[in-house]
């Protein structure tokens, strides 16, 4: 935890209210997100018990598995669930947009919007991942045939869960993550995983402090767990009895219907408070202005969605259960680049996030005190425009000479650090001795040897510079899968789909 | 090393070390006939790892086998080039580098060394040295041999990218130091034999379980007072010996203190016994604990004020301790920065850095800000055995650990709670146990600050 978030948490405790740690919203919130609250049966690996799902706060659908230990009923549930989820996702196939191709590339099309699935907490993302894994290898024919929608559901859930690992992606989001990204509560990050407690801190009901609302949020009677785990007391005292009642033989249809309605009602009461909280959290997030780079990240999500839809249309095989050595290394490289870019974008969008980097010395802000906008560098074959500016800062940057910096307000211009020295003593005594940083600018000033007006910062301007960069990072080079080296076990065998793919030790 | 040591211990340590190096070189010579492709050499701190790399590279190259040498940072590459060029005069050495790299004097002063961005500009050099990141961009060419230095600090995905370039490899590294890390936290590959978050050696050994693992048995850096402590805490199954015997390394203070204070007491304890624990009153603090930072600076400064003189096998007549030979090690970058800012003008030659950046470095006296000092909890990061191992094994003479009181109690309250995963080999030593072992030793050499 950084100093600034520690301080915000301490302030939250002192004031009894969560403290904002962002000035803008860093996640995309769809106009029509699909909210999903899954419940699993305790003691069974990822056995679906119920799911509340829907894109309308007033019309959520509750699906219930009356006997989760029965595999047939699980997959009947999966088929029903697929009907809702897949048709929600495929609803986004209807409209496309054209993206102009830059630098000699052709224009391309992608879907104009993408689906967004919101779950209460990260454990629910884990549930989505495992449900995807247990359904994507199933087949609509042969032994243990399932509804044709089930493997399609599995692939989409797997796609969403993999995308959720991608820093900055918003196709599948956990509400607690999204809320905790923007507010610091007065409780620990582990306690923040409880949506009711976290929302208590952030928007307590009238007449209560955040701390009181959070404490109330921990009562499983008024605020049942948000899934996928259920409350053990509920399991023992209510659920066990109702599930046993549903297990009646088929001949007593009326008694069974009665038992199933009772189970349905009990589970509806378990998810209803979370359902309301989810839409409350969505409203809260919608109320913040979005950061300027959120839309670009959502465009990347749309690209990923379009690309996977095309892959499914071409009958691509389901996602492998494990990454091969090369695929794992490639994915890690991809995730690390996305992580760096996401961190930079958040800081560029939000001065409060940038403040963290200013405190840690990776950024500084100050006033331009001198500028040489027409300076030319004639050391090379051709003269180049390389203006110098001096920025005086009271921050304490930990930046080396020669480092390349970028200012969030001028992202296309690089600034190389020429020197860092103590600034001349100011007339006003400062808390710490200000530093003068001399920067050499390159790029973003037009093609001529005199800079375009406004492209070089002028004295008096307040600017922030940082070592973070959002510029394009080339992908690492990796061997082909067929050339996996001996150090990593050699080339893996080719994938041949088989019935055993779907079997798991735990399923 | 020195020939005139006592008959026991010291001479046999030198012999042991020489025998171990000879074994490794013999392994390299007959690796092919055994049908294997790699030798792994585990090396405790300061056991002559770089010397082995230099010697192996020179021997392979002189036998007509081109070698690619891989290190992890530009600084390490430059050090290796310098040592290689000094050891094998006249041999053409290629220093392959990125576009941004500026050659440093210790590389350019050797006539046999050429620096270039591309392999084809270095044709004819039997030995080419570069960082792993640079080698990963080399798209073609093949070398009969690769020597990979600091292989435990290289991530296995980097090995995947360069493994196509060589037939056989010598992997040298210190298993006790910090594991490589990633900026993303993800467990999707946990348990796979090719987990890209693991070190290159871990993946190599899991996929090639028949490989020989050799060990260098003698630390030439750590004094006799430190080797048993470090060996027991961090190398519990293999151990190692100190290359110098009792009394061969001494730190003497030229002046006496006026009166006594805890700082002087800690400095004297460290000079006399090689270790000291400077214990501040128990308190939970922010990471950049001002008192602890001030204590680190005061202790470092006091060694210089008291005119410490270091007597060792390299300088039997003694050399005065200078600021350049003192380091202050921390867990976090902001702590290192706070220490650096607190250093008064006369002491700015003192190195203050994090464990990650101190890896592979050597000093006469090291002041350690204990990773758990002032903390409320003991996370996996702060318990990592490699972190404490790096910090407490950089010194040739003495190490002073600065900590808030209560670390053993903190450890007792936070046993390791890491999840156990299938198919993941247990890693030794356990950080919790290693921390306890070090604290148990330091307990006896504790000086309480006022």
Measure CB to CB from residue B164 to each of A360, A479, A489 and give the nearest one: A479
CA angle A361, A364, A369 (to 5 degrees): 145
Domain holding B20: CATH number? Answer: 3.40.50.300
Same domain for B177 and B309: no
Statement: residue B4 has pLDDT above 60: no
Q: Tell me what the mean pLDDT of segment B108-114 comes to.
A: 90
> What's chain B's average pLDDT?
90
Q: Residue A144 CB: number of other CB atoms within 10 A?
A: 12
Between CA B24 and CA B49 the distance in angstroms is 12
Contacts of A333 in chain B (CB under 8 A): 157
Between CA B354 and CA B336 the distance in angstroms is 6
CB B373 within 8 A of CB B403: yes
Domain holding B317: CATH number? Answer: 3.40.50
Tokens of B153: 């600090």
> What pLDDT sits at residue A53?
96
- Between strands B351-354 and B326-330, the pairing is parallel
CB B300 within 8 A of CB B426: no
Strand residues in B304-378 grouped as ranges (E): 308-311, 319-320, 326-330, 351-354, 363-369
Q: Is residue B251 part of a domain?
A: yes
Q: What percent of chain B has pLDDT over 90?
A: 63
For the question of an ipTM over 0.85, the answer is yes
Chain B residue with the nearest C-alpha to that of A328: B196
Q: Is residue B1 part of a domain?
A: no
**Is the Cβ pair B188, A335 closer than 8 Å?**
no
Q: Number of A to B CB contacts under 8 A, please give it.
A: 97
Same domain for B276 and B186: no
Same domain for B174 and B141: yes
CA angle B310, B373, B439 (to 5 degrees): 65
pLDDT band for position B450 (50/70/90)?
A: confident
> What pLDDT sits at residue B1?
39
Q: Is residue B437 part of a domain?
A: yes
Measure CB to CB from residue B160 to each of A335, A361, A488 and give the nearest one: A488
Same domain for B204 and B278: no
**Model confidence pLDDT, tens digit, residues B234-274:** 999 888 999 888 888 999 998 887 778 999 999 999 999 99
- Full DSSP string of B273-318: HSEEEEEEPP----SS-HHHHHHHHHHHHHHHHTTEEEE-SS-TT-
- Whether residue A360 lies within 8 A of chain B, CB to CB, comes out as yes
Q: Is the preceding omega at residue A318 within 30 degrees of 0, hence cis? A: no
Between CA B447 and CA B75 the distance in angstroms is 37
Reduced 3-state DSSP string for B381-445: HHHCHHHHHHHHCCEEEEEEEEEECCHHHHHHHCCCCCCCCCCCCCCCCCHHHHHHHHHHHHHCC
What region, left, alpha or beta, does residue A391 occupy, with left being phi > 0 and alpha being psi -120 to 50 degrees? beta
**3-class DSSP assignment, residue A291:** coil
CA atoms within 13 A on the CB side of A87: 9
Contacts of B137 in chain A (CB under 8 A): 477
Q: Is residue B392 part of a domain?
A: yes
**3-class DSSP assignment, residue A172:** strand
pTM above 0.95, yes or no: no
pLDDT band for position B143 (50/70/90)?
A: very high
Q: Is the preceding omega at residue B213 within 30 degrees of 0, hence cis? A: no
Measure CB to CB from residue B160 to each of A6, A326, A360 and give the nearest one: A326
Between CA A165 and CA B186 the distance in angstroms is 8
Measure CB to CB from residue A3 to each of B188, B192, B286 and give the nearest one: B286
Question: Which structural domains are found in chain A, ordered by start?
Answer: 3-321 (no CATH), 363-466 (2.40.30)
> What pLDDT sits at residue B5?
38
Angle, nearest 10°, between helix axes A325-349 and A294-313? 150
- Whether residue B333 lies within 8 A of chain A, CB to CB, comes out as yes
- Full DSSP string of A450-470: SPPTTSS--TT-EEEEES---
> What pLDDT sits at residue B3?
39
Helices (H), A95-141: 122-136
Greatest Cα-to-Cα distance within chain B, rounded to the nearest angstrom: 69
Q: List A172's β-bridge partners, or say none.
A: A117
Is the sign of the CA dihedral B155, B156, B160, B162 positive or negative? Answer: positive
CB B424 within 8 A of CB B400: no
Q: Is residue B90 part of a domain?
A: yes
Q: Is residue B435 part of a domain?
A: yes
**Model confidence pLDDT, tens digit, residues B276-313:** 999 999 999 988 899 999 999 999 999 999 999 999 98
How far does B161 lie from chain A, in Å, by closest CA?
Answer: 5
- Phi first, then psi: give them for residue B123, nearest 5 degrees: -55, 140
Q: Is residue B207 part of a domain?
A: yes
**Alpha carbon distances (Å) from B159 to B43, B166, B203, B313:** 20, 11, 9, 38
The total number of structural domains that make up chain B = 2
Q: Is residue B134 part of a domain?
A: yes
Q: Which of B35, B133, B164, B345 to mutate to test the interface with A (most CBs of A within 10 A)?
A: B164
CA atoms within 13 A on the CB side of A113: 15
Same domain for B211 and B258: no
Same domain for B358 and B272: yes
CA angle B372, B49, B439 (to 5 degrees): 20
Chain A residue with the nearest C-alpha to that of B286: A3
Same domain for B149 and B265: no
C-alpha A194: how far from its chain's center? 18
Between CA A113 and CA A93 the distance in angstroms is 9
Same domain for B199 and B108: yes
Q: Tell me what the mean pLDDT of segment B174-184 comes to.
A: 89
**Is the Cβ pair B160, A485 closer than 8 Å?**
yes
Between CA B438 and CA B431 the distance in angstroms is 11
Between CA A351 and CA A329 the distance in angstroms is 34
- Phi first, then psi: give them for residue B102, nearest 5 degrees: -110, 120
Question: Nearest CA to B82 among B56, B58, B54, B61?
Answer: B54
CB A41 within 8 A of CB A69: yes
Same domain for B421 and B284: yes
Same domain for B128 and B266: no
Q: Residue B55 CB: number of other CB atoms within 10 A?
A: 18
Q: By residue range, what is the domain housing residue B173?
A: 10-219
Same domain for B283 and B158: no
> What pLDDT sits at residue A397?
84
- Whether residue B207 lies within 8 A of chain A, CB to CB, comes out as yes
Give per-residue burial for B393-408: e unless 16+ CB within 10 Å, then b.
Answer: bbbbbbbbbbbbbbbe
> What pLDDT sits at residue A337?
93
Residues of chain A with pLDDT under 50: none
> What pLDDT sits at residue A383?
85
How far does B193 lie from chain A, in Å, by closest CA?
Answer: 8
Contacts of A479 in chain B (CB under 8 A): 160-161, 163-164
CB B80 within 8 A of CB B54: yes
Same domain for B213 and B125: yes
- Whether residue B197 lies within 8 A of chain A, CB to CB, comes out as yes
Between CA A166 and CA A149 the distance in angstroms is 26
Helices (H), A350-377: 351-360
Measure CB to CB from residue A477 to each of B137, B194, B207 and give the nearest one: B137
CB A332 within 8 A of CB B184: yes
Chain A residue with the nearest C-alpha to that of B38: A487
> What pLDDT sits at residue A89?
96
**3-class DSSP assignment, residue A76:** helix
pLDDT band for position B29 (50/70/90)?
A: confident
How far does A76 lie from chain B, in Å, by closest CA?
Answer: 29
């Amino acid at each position: 935890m950084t100093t600034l978030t520690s301080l915000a948490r301490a302030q939250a405790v002192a004031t009894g209210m969560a403290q904002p740690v962002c000035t803008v919203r860093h996640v995309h919130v769809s106009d029509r997100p699909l909210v999903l609250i899954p419940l699993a049966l305790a003691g069974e690996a990822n056995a679906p018990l119920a799911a509340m799902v829907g894109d309308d706060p007033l019309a959520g659908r509750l699906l219930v598995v009356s006997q989760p230990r029965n595999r047939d009923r699980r997959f009947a549930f999966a088929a029903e669930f697929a009907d809702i989820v897949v048709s929600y996702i495929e609803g986004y196939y209807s409209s496309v947009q054209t993206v102009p191709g830059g630098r000699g590339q052709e224009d391309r099309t992608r879907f104009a919007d993408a689906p967004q699935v919101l779950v209460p907490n990260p454990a629910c993302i884990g549930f989505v991942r495992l449900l995807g894994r247990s359904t994507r290898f199933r087949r609509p024919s042969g032994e243990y045939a399932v509804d044709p929608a089930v493997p399609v559901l599995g692939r989409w859930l797997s796609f969403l869960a993999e995308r959720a690992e991608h820093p900055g992606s918003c196709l599948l989001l956990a509400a607690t993550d999204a809320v905790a990204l923007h507010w610091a509560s007065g409780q620990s990050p582990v306690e923040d995983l409880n949506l009711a407690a976290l929302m208590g801190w952030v928007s307590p009901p009238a007449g209560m402090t955040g701390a009181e609302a959070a404490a109330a949020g921990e009562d499983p009677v008024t605020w049942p767990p948000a899934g996928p785990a259920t409350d053990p007391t509920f399991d023992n005292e209510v659920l066990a009895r109702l599930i046993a009642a549903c297990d009646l033989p088929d001949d007593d249809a009326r008694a069974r219907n009665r038992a199933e309605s009772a189970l349905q009602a009990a589970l509806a009461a378990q998810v209803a408070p979370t359902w309301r909280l989810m839409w409350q959290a969505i409203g809260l997030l919608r109320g913040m202005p979005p950061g300027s780079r959120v839309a670009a990240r959502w465009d990347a999500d749309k690209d990923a969605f379009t690309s996977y839809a095309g892959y499914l249309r071409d009958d691509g095989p389901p996602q492998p259960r494990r990454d091969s050595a090369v695929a794992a290394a490639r994915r890690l490289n991809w995730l690390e680049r996305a992580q760096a870019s996401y961190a930079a974008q958040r800081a560029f969008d939000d001065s409060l996030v940038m403040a963290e980097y200013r405190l840690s010395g990776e950024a500084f802000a100050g006033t331009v005190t001198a500028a040489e906008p027409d300076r030319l560098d004639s050391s090379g074959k051709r003269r180049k425009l390389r203006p110098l500016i001096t920025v005086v800062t009271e921050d304490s940057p930990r930046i080396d000479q020669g480092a390349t910096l970028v200012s969030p307000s001028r992202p296309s211009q690089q600034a190389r650090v020429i020197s860092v020295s103590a600034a001349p003593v100011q007339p006003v005594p400062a808390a710490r001795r200000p530093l003068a940083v001399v920067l050499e600018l390159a790029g973003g000033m037009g093609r001529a040897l005199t800079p375009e007006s406004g492209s070089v910062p002028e004295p008096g301007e307040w600017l922030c510079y940082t070592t973070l960069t959002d510029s394009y990072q080339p992908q690492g080079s990796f061997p082909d899968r067929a050339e996996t080296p001996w150090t990593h076990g050699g080339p893996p065998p080719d994938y041949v789909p088989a019935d055993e793919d779907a079997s798991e030790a735990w399923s | 090393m020195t020939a005139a040591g006592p008959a026991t211990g010291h001479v046999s340590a030198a012999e042991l070390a020489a025998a171990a190096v000879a074994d490794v070189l013999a392994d390299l010579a007959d690796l092919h006939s055994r049908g294997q492709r790699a030798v792994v050499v585990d090396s405790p701190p300061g056991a002559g790892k770089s010397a082995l790399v230099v010697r192996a590279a020179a021997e392979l190259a002189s036998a007509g086998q081109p070698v690619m040498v891989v290190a992890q940072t530009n600084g390490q590459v430059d050090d290796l080039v310098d040592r290689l060029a000094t050891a094998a005069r006249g041999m053409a050495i290629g220093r392959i580098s990125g576009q941004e790299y500026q050659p440093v004097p210790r590389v350019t002063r050797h006539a046999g060394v050429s620096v270039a961005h591309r392999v084809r500009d270095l044709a004819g050099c039997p030995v080419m040295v570069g960082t792993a990141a640079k080698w990963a961009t080399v798209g073609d060419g093949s070398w009969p041999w690769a020597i990979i230095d600091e292989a435990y600090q290289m991530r296995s995905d980097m090995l995947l990218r360069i493994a196509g370039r060589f037939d056989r490899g010598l992997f040298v590294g210190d298993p006790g130091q910090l594991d490589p890390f990633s900026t993303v936290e993800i467990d999707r590959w946990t348990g796979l034999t090719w987990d890209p978050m693991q070190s290159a050696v871990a993946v190599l050994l899991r996929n090639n379980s028949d490989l020989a693992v050799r060990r260098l048995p003698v630390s030439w850096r750590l004094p006799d007072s430190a080797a048993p402590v470090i060996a027991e805490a961090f190398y519990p199954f293999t151990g190692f010996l100190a290359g110098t015997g009792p009394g061969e390394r001494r730190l003497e203070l030229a002046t006496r203190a006026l009166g006594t204070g805890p700082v002087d007491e800690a400095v004297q304890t460290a000079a006399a016994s090689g270790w000291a624990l400077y214990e501040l009153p128990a308190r939970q603090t922010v990471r950049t604990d001002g008192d602890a930072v001030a204590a680190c600076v005061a202790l470092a400064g006091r060694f210089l004020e008291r005119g410490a003189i270091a007597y060792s096998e390299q300088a039997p007549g003694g050399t005065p301790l200078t600021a350049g030979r003192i380091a202050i090690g921390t867990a976090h970058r902001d702590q290192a920065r706070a220490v650096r800012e607190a250093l008064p003008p006369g002491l700015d030659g003192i190195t203050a850095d994090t464990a990650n950046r101190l890896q592979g470095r050597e000093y006469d006296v090291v002041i350690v800000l204990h990773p758990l000092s002032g903390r409320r909890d003991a996370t996996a990061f702060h318990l990592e055995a490699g972190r404490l191992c790096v910090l407490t094994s950089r010194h040739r003479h003495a190490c002073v650990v600065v900590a808030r009181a209560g670390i053993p109690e903190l450890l007792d309250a936070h046993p390791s709670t890491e999840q156990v995963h299938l198919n993941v080999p247990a890693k030794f030593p356990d950080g919790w146990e290693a921390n306890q072992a070090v604290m148990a030793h330091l307990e006896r050499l504790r000086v309480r600050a006022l």
